[in-house]
Amino acid sequence: MGPDGVDEPLDLVLDTVGGPQLVAAWGKLAPGGVVQSIGWASGEAAVFPPYSTFAVGAARTLSSFGDASEPGTDLATLVGLVASGELVVRIGLREPWERVGEAFAALAGRRVAGKAVLDVAPADAALARG
């Protein structure tokens, strides 16, 4: 198994890091595979070695996704995949909604490995706290 835990070609990679990780993801694609670049958390350049984008077989694809104007359908699909167990989400931080500032600072400071979840109390609980 490779150092990244992947030992077989991949059909789909959702990359939120960019930079060298995006290049590595491209190198792991199976013929006909797709890399969706949906973020660039690394802030580093993606430098592809010469000829690394050419391969014999079905075309591989690299595309970006940045249109968040209508996220409902995409979010519903992701929630369905999580509910069915087909997609596992790593939660690195869980806080009450009132700590949104601290959660944002932790994410922006890259101190969270995984997703941040903010729990929102039911309206009646929030009223009771007053």
Local structure of residue 102 (DSSP, 8 states):
H
Query: What digits encode the pLDDT tens for the residues 82-105?
Result: 999 999 889 999 999 999 999 999
List the domains of the chain with CATH numbers: 1-70 (3.40.50.720)
What's at 102, amino acid-wise?
E
pLDDT band per the 50, 70, 90 thresholds, residue 3: low
Query: What digits encode the pLDDT tens for the residues 4-25?
Result: 777 889 999 999 999 999 999 9
pTM: 0.57
